[in-house]
Amino acid sequence: MNDREVAEYLLANPEFFSQHAELLAAIRLANPHGKAAVSLQERQMDMLREKNKLLERRLAELLRYGHENDSIAAKFNRWTARVIAERDAHALPRTVAQGLMEVFDVPQAALRVWDVADTYRDAHFARQVGEEVRLFANGLDAPYCGANTGFEAAQWLIANEYASTVSAGDGAPAAAASDAACIESVVLLALREPSVGEPASHQTSEESEALTQAAAPAFGLLVMGSPDPRRFHEGMATDFLMQIGTLASAALSRLLAR
């Protein structure tokens, strides 16, 4: 009888040690923490302690993620309130971008909107963008998070109109746009008119909205950037970024030509 057969027999007969309890104290196992041998019962206790430590670490991690999500949700609500409260359509793009910098501590944020109504054609947010940017935005069905690989949109951050009005966390003025010329990581969010239709019976409202927005042509692009290459990375969660894109799209759609 080999080791595997013994193991299979014990697994198939879990009552074995109940019927032969005297063997538990007699079996001696190597102690993973020292040279002395320990009983099977002691070894089981050690294994349970290790398992409990692992579970405690996982629980602590889940709690940390929960606290982080609560903090992000609170910030999202504050930013949303700012955007909704803005009644001046000309100031709305500034409110969206500047709010992201102030509420979420994003170093740089900017946006462009095209196909706007005649009233807004001379506004800074309606400045001409290249055809490549429009094509890129149309094909962007999820937030892009990662390294700045020379995006034309990243240049908007360098000449950011909002940077001079934002204060750093300690109350000091934020760095000038020229000081933030080195943008290492970015987030790119396509702006699309939100769907007002009913979701299909087999889809959740989130799935329906994502599919509809992905199919609609983009009317703008929201970009956030940081000199920290680890601030925005391809493995980061995008749930709140998608919500930011959805709300910004809904708010800014009032600027479009009808």
Within 8 A by CB and 6+ apart from 241, the residues are 143, 145, 187, 189
**Ramachandran region, residue 253 (left: φ > 0; alpha: ψ -120 to 50; beta: rest):** alpha
Q: Is 123 helix (H, G, I), strand (E, B) or coil?
A: coil
Please report, in tens digits, the pLDDT of each residue of the chain (258 residues total): 788 887 788 788 877 767 776 666 666 656 555 555 555 566 677 778 888 888 888 888 888 878 888 889 999 999 999 999 999 999 999 999 999 999 999 999 999 999 999 999 999 999 989 899 999 999 999 999 999 998 888 888 876 566 544 444 444 444 444 444 589 999 999 999 987 544 444 445 455 445 444 568 999 999 999 999 999 999 998 999 999 999 999 999 999 997
Query: Which residue intervals of the chain bear CATH 3.30.450?
Result: 89-255
Helix (H) / strand (E) containing 65: helix 40-85
Structure confidence at residue 177 (pLDDT): 43
Structure confidence at residue 161 (pLDDT): 60
Query: What are 173-205's pLDDT values in tens digits?
Result: 444 444 445 899 999 999 999 875 444 444 454
Residue 111 to residue 250: CA distance in whole angstroms:
14
- B/e letters for 150-167, b = 16+ CB within 10 Å, e = fewer, are ebebbebbbebebbeebe
The domain defined by 89-255 folds into: Beta-Lactamase (3.30.450)
Within 8 A by CB and 6+ apart from 12, the residues are none
Within 8 A by CB and 6+ apart from 64, the residues are none
Q: Tokens 């920290």 label which residue?
A: 228
Within 8 A by CB and 6+ apart from 189, the residues are 140, 143, 221, 222, 223, 224, 241, 244, 245, 248
* HSE of 57, CA atoms in CB hemisphere, 13 A: 6
Residue 37 to residue 40: CA distance in whole angstroms:
10
- Cα 185 to Cα 51, 86, 106, 109, 243: the distances in Å are 38, 29, 11, 12, 20
